[in-house]
Amino acid sequence: MLIHLPQVLAPEQVTQLRAALDQAGQAWVDGRVTAGYQGAPVKLNQQIDERSAVALECQRVITTALERNALFISAALPNVLYPPMFNRYGEGMGFGSHVDGGVRLHPHNGSKLRTDLSATLFLSEPQAYEGGELRIEDTYGTHSVKLPAGDMVLYPSTSLHEVTTVTRGVRVACFTWVQSMVRDDGERALLFDLDNAIQRLNTTEADDVARRTLVGTYHNLLRKWADM
């Protein structure tokens, strides 16, 4: 399931983050420092040192925004969020096809996190660069994603994906991973559909007994499938 989350950040938050990141100087390092043996040969980009002061400041903004985003909570059912990271692709840079590592170490406390969902939050407007599309493969084919600054895409970490070479301009983005309470993408998709249907019923004159039954079913399925 590939989900588009519009306006996770307000325009002024995007401006604030971009100002911090664009002035980060030596906090920008070669992206291969965090790539595994599969990713390193195909990865050509820069990223912010995840322990730098600018990373901590920007992580706080994004984590707070996601914790308040009802669509993110409903779609991801997050258990643990990896501290968001930031990357930059200048002209000639890209990241070839790969699958993200299945387990990551939390950079601040060393705990292990299973990557169930991958997320990219765009911090450059689409017209600011050419190329730089996030291409994600799933059973329905390949999806090309290039969203307005402030928007996020969420997709299963099991997916093969790539960032095509930037041919003009600069692409700045934030990326992270979620360990979900519900690790199976199919089960999570069913809960998301059910939650969306209940939210719609909440705004209509729906039969209240039937609506409450569905709410109960949602929570009973969540109880059955959730792991923490």
Q: Tell me the closest approach of the beta carbon of residue 95 to Ni ion, in angstroms.
A: 7
Task: Of 109, 42, 40, 117, give the one whose Cα is nearest residue 73.
Answer: 117
CB of 39 to Ni ion, least distance (A): 7
If the CB atoms of residues 100 and 133 are measured against Ni ion, the closer one turns out to be 100
* Residue 201 DSSP SS3: helix
- CB closer to Ni ion, 19 vs 33: 33
Give the distance, in angstroms, between the CA of residue 219 and the centroid of all CA atoms in the same chain: 25
CA distance 81 to 192: 18
143-157 in b/e burial notation, b at 16+ Cβ within 10 A? bebbbebbbbbbbbb
Of 83-122, which residues contact Ni ion (CB under 5 A)? 100
What's the DSSP call for residue 216? H
CB of 156 to Ni ion, least distance (A): 12
Which CB atom, from 20 or from 136, has the smaller least distance to Ni ion?
Answer: 136
- By beta-carbon proximity to Ni ion, the closer residue of 25 and 37 is 37
Binding mask 194-223 for Ni ion (x = CB under 5 A): ------------------------------
Tell which positions 132-171 bind Ni ion, by CB under 5 A. Answer: none
Say how many residues touch Ni ion, by CB under 5 A. Answer: 1
As measured in angstroms, the least distance from the Cβ of 107 to Ni ion is: 17
Burial class (CB in 10 A: 0-12, 13-18, 19+), 227: exposed
Q: Which residues contact 172 (CB under 8 A, 6 or more apart)?
A: 18, 21, 22, 86, 87, 88, 123, 124
CB of 177 or CB of 192, closer to Ni ion:
177
Which residues are at the interface with Ni ion (CB under 5 A)?
100
